[in-house]
Amino acid sequence: MNDRFLRACRRRPVDVTPVWFMRQAGRSLPEYRALRERYGMFEIMASAELTAEVTLQPVRRLGVDAAILFSDIVLPLAAIGVDVEIKPGVGPVFADPFRTADDLERLRPLDPTDMAAVTDAIKILTAELPVPLIGFAGAPFTVASYFVEGGPSRDYAKTKALMRSEPTLWAALLDRLADIAIAWLRAQVDAGASAVQLFDSWAGALSAEDYRGRVMPASARIFAGVADLGVPRIHFGVGTGELLADMGAAGADVVGVDWRIPLDEARRRVGGAYALQGNLDPALCTAPWNVVEAAAADVLERAAGRPGHVFNLGHGVLPETSPDTLQRLVEFVHEHG
């Protein structure tokens, strides 16, 4: 197996810089779109064979150094009976948002058998993949923000109001979500995943004070809850330049960096004890190749050949991105990284 991704996560020497892309499984790939014309998101995730197929598609086409499981951060909540749907072009939408302590009872513990189709997909994948498989979960704050707001939000007003006005209930909510994430990550690793990523995609909406005091403890508990598994742990959020050191201190081995902060500055803020992942602006992948090439070269120059860099985008692949551009980008990073 090509293990350069795992070696980079552990800050060990690699032959070339490893590269994979968030949201590489789906969205921009025509073979994925063909499947989506026949199946909904939850239909794909309910089928081990379809989940494995979508996860494999970018590895076949792009030549990336890691696969990421095709899934969604709200899938565990759907598996335990919470009413949630993924609306195209919108994202997760909850029919009955979280409001009171009574709603905690809807968050029963996750049993791995609740997710049998996905763990079966992982077993298929680990038998076929030439690269490591990344499992993932949503961090408690980000999942809570969808659950409290009822769907995506720009200001997270209800979430922040609950966090400040009812701190005991807020902590209980994050604890329940942390328990679910721990169970889900452990099930993925037990099935064969070689690394895990915790997506706290919207943590950048928080002040450093709120993050450290009201969010970070639950994420830290997740990382501690999978530490004994011995797989690399990646922590990622958007707009988190001011939180990078804390996101590492929460227990990560690898800190994801978005495009709003240069990679060398991220290294200065995080320190040398962590690998970094990132951080090309995904919007630039829709530009002409000379723009993509220059931006990728800048990321690699700022990485400066130090051990512990996984090339990625600063967030997910945009749907309008050409797969040919992504393939060319992988080749460029392998050649120059």
User: Nearest 10 degrees: CA dihedral of 4, 6, 9, 15?
Assistant: -10
Query: Is residue 23 flagged as an active site residue?
Result: yes
Query: Is residue 33 flagged as an active site residue?
Result: no
DSSP, res 260? T
Q: What DSSP assignment string belongs to 78-112?
A: HHTT--EEEETTTEEEESS---SGGGGGG-PPPPG
DSSP, res 214? I
Q: In sequence order, what are the beta bridge partners of 137? A: 198
Query: Is residue 102 flagged as an active site residue?
Result: no
- 94 vs 84: CA distance, rounded Å: 5
Instruction: Pick the catalytic residue from 4, 11, 23, 176.
Output: 23
DSSP, res 20? -
- 237 vs 192: CA distance, rounded Å: 25
Instruction: For residue 133, report the phi and psi dihedrals to the nearest 5 degrees.
Output: -105, 130
Query: Is residue 190 flagged as an active site residue?
Result: no
Residue 327 is which amino acid?
Q
Query: Is residue 146 flagged as an active site residue?
Result: yes
Instruction: Pick the catalytic residue from 32, 61, 72, 253.
Output: 72
Tallying the residues shown for the chain, one arrives at 337
- 75 vs 131: CA distance, rounded Å: 24
Instruction: Pick the catalytic residue from 3, 10, 27, 120.
Output: 27
- 92 vs 167: CA distance, rounded Å: 25
Instruction: Pick the catalytic residue from 11, 32, 114, 146.
Output: 146
Tokens of 147: 């659950």
Instruction: For residue 141, report the phi and psi dihedrals to the nearest 5 degrees.
Output: -65, -45
Instruction: Pick the catalytic residue from 10, 36, 106, 108.
Output: 36
- 112 vs 57: CA distance, rounded Å: 26
Count of beta carbons in the 10 Å neighbourhood of residue 126? 17
Q: What DSSP assignment string belongs to 236-251?
A: E-SS-GGGHHHHHHTT
* H or E stretch at 137: strand 133-138
Q: Which residues are catalytic?
A: 23, 27, 36, 72, 146
